[in-house]
Amino acid sequence: MMLRYLGSTKNLAGCVGGLIGVGLYLTGVAGWFWPFVVAALYAAGALLAPGEKVRLVPDTSAELRQSLDALEATVSAQASRMPASSVDTVHRIAEVLRDLLSRPSRLAGDPDLRHAVVRLAGTDLPLSLETYLNLPWWFAARRASAGSELVTQLDFLEAEAHRVAERFYASEVDRQADHTRYLRDRDA
């Protein structure tokens, strides 16, 4: 708690106020009562400075990216047990999610989009793979339906990841279309 206050905006503003008080003493403006001036200016700076932003929702982007890396490593290590093409699908899904998670400030601005990305990366994709990989290999090999269920789930998850990415990049696409219209109109 104390270390967090030392780096806070309030403490830094108070220190600036205190330094102004010391400067007033060194220039002769504040006489024998300079310690009171320093303390008062520190208190004024600390009280007037804006408080720290409240962050109740933790930023889990870095953790989710690490989780995706671990998930991909596990899938690659278990590739012989996975249905054909499912490993490539997992890598494509993880690539889309990792790209979205690399922009945490952008995700923070849209809670619905953030929830969709966190749900995909933190729950849906790991749960699908975990459920399949926890089946005994001999059972999964005998039941073709287990592998086809995983492939179907991964297809749904890939489609959802692309829908989320389209929502994420919609403003950039609109901006690019606006610029194209501008250039077309300018040349006309």
Q: Tell me, yes or no, whether 30 and 68 share the same domain.
A: no
Distance CA 163, CA 30 (A): 65
* Average pLDDT over the chain, rounded to an integer: 88
Q: Tell me, yes or no, whether 19 and 93 share the same domain.
A: no
Residue 186: inside a domain: no
In the predicted model, what is the mean pLDDT of residues 55-73?
80
pLDDT for 119 beyond 90: yes
Domain that holds residue 135: 61-178
Q: Tell me, yes or no, whether 80 and 44 share the same domain.
A: no
Q: Which two tokens stand for residue 165?
A: 């990415």
Task: Please state, in angstroms and as integers, the Cα–Cα distance from residue 67 to each residue in 99, 118, 124, 164, following that order.
Answer: 14, 11, 13, 19
The per-residue pLDDT for 84 is 84
Residue 54: inside a domain: no
Orientation angle between helical segments 125-133 and 61-77, nearest 10 degrees: 30
Q: Tell me, yes or no, whether 82 and 144 share the same domain.
A: yes
pLDDT for 147 beyond 60: yes
The total of structural domains in the chain comes to: 2
Residue 184: inside a domain: no
Q: Tell me, yes or no, whether 43 and 69 share the same domain.
A: no
The per-residue pLDDT for 54 is 61
Distance CA 18, CA 147 (A): 68
Cα of first residue to Cα of last residue in the chain, in angstroms, is 63
Segment 150-167, tens digit of pLDDT: 999 999 999 999 999 999
Q: Tell me, yes or no, whether 102 and 128 share the same domain.
A: yes
Distance from chain centroid for Cα 159: 21
pLDDT for 58 beyond 70: no
pLDDT for 61 beyond 60: yes
Distance CA 54, CA 9 (A): 13
pLDDT for 55 beyond 70: no
The per-residue pLDDT for 142 is 80
Residue 53: inside a domain: no
Q: Tell me, yes or no, whether 66 and 142 share the same domain.
A: yes
Q: Tell me, yes or no, whether 44 and 113 share the same domain.
A: no
pTM above 0.75, yes or no: no
Q: Tell me, yes or no, whether 84 and 166 share the same domain.
A: yes
Q: Tell me, yes or no, whether 128 and 100 share the same domain.
A: yes
pLDDT for 50 beyond 80: yes
**DSSP assignment, residue 71?**
H
Residue that the structure tokens 């503003």 belong to:
13
In the predicted model, what is the mean pLDDT of residues 45-57?
75
Q: Tell me, yes or no, whether 15 and 43 share the same domain.
A: yes
Residue 174: inside a domain: yes
Distance CA 41, CA 44 (A): 5
Contact status, residue 9 vs residue 52, Cβ threshold 8 Å: yes
Q: Tell me, yes or no, whether 43 and 94 share the same domain.
A: no
In the predicted model, what is the mean pLDDT of residues 107-125?
90
